[in-house]
Amino acid sequence: MKKIARILLFISIISSQAFAQTPVQANGALSVVNGQIVNQNGIAPQLRGISFSWSLWQGRKYYNPAVLDWLVNDFKVSIVRAAMGVEPAHGYIQEPEAQTQLEETVVDEAIKQGIYVLIDWHDHHSNLHLAQSKTFFSEMAKRYTGVPNVVYEIWNEPWGAIPWDTVKNYALQVIPEIRKYDPNNLIIVGSPHWDQDVDVVAGDPITGFKNIAYSFHFYASDPNHQEKLRAKADLALKKGLPLIVTEWGVGESNGNGKFDQTLVKTWFDWMEKNKLSWTNWNITDKQETTALLMSGAPVNGAWTEEQLTPAGQYIREKLRELNK
C-alpha cells in the first residue's frame, strides 16, 4: 500500500508540474511547417485568448498589467492581442511614444506571465503609413528578438477595396525590417477585404521568408459572414495557407447586432475542428455586442460576473473550459 501511495504521489507531483507550465513553457517558439502554425514539438497548439480593444477611446484604460494578469489567471487565456491604434486621433501617427509605451506595457506583462502576445499594427490603411510601420516594427524586433512569446501582426484588416497586390507589397517591405533583428519569430500578414479573402492570398502567398502566416477575421452572427466566408478559409487551408484568427466577435461586423449563439457555435466548432488559434474581440466597456465588459467595469480587472456582458460571460466560460 505504501508503494502504491508513493506512486500516486509521484504521479500527482508530475501532473501538477505539467499543469503549472505556462503556455510558452509548454509550446516554445512558434513556427510554420507544412502550411500550419506549430509549436516546438511540431504540433498545432491552438492558442485561445482575447484581443485588447483599440489603444484609444474606451479601450485605452485597460492597457495595464493588472488587466493582463486577470485575463491569465481568471479567463485562462494563452494568447492576447495588443491592438495599437495608428490612424485615429492620439494614435501612433500623432503620438508614437505614448502608443509604443502602451503596447510595450501589455507585451512585457504577457512575457512575464508566460503567454503569447500579438503586437498588432491596428490600421486599415497601413500602405499609407509604411515609413511609420517600418520604424515601429524595427523597434519591436530589436526589443523582443528571440522572445518566443512575441508574434508580429503587421496590418489589421486592410480596407475593403485594397487589393492583395498592395497588401503583399507592403508586407514585403515590412517583413525585412523585422527580420534584420528577429530572424525567426512568427509574422502575421493581413489579407484583403478586412482579413477575409484568404482564398485570394492562397493563390499567391509570400515566398522567400520563413514563419509567415495570415490573419482571418469573422463576426459570427453577421449575415454576410457565414457559409461563403468559411468556404474561403476552407479553400485556403486546403491549399496549405497557414491561418490564425487574430480577431473574431460574437456579434456582427460593426461590433453590434445580434449575439446568435447557434451561429457562434457553428464558427466555434469550425475553429476547433481546424485547430486554429484565435483572439476574441474585445476588452472594452463600450456599449456594444462584442464588448466583453459592462459600462464602468474596473480598469484593473477583478471583474465580477455581473460586470461582464453576455459576450464576456460566454468567452470567459469557453476559455476556462478549453484552456485547461
Instruction: For residue 153, report the phi and psi dihedrals to the nearest 5 degrees.
Output: -110, 110
CB 150 within 8 A of CB 115: no
Choose the catalytic residue: 103, 109, 153, 157.
Answer: 157
* Cα→Cα distances 142→21, 116, 304, Å: 27, 18, 39
Q: Is 157 noted as a catalytic residue in this protein?
A: yes
- Residue 187, beta-bridge partner list: 152, 212
What type of residue sits at position 229?
Answer: L
Q: Is 247 noted as a catalytic residue in this protein?
A: yes
CA 126/CA 192 separation, integer angstroms: 12
CB 256 within 8 A of CB 310: no
3 state SS of 214:
strand
Choose the catalytic residue: 104, 247, 252, 288.
Answer: 247
Rg (CA), the chain: 19
* Residues that are catalytic: 157, 247
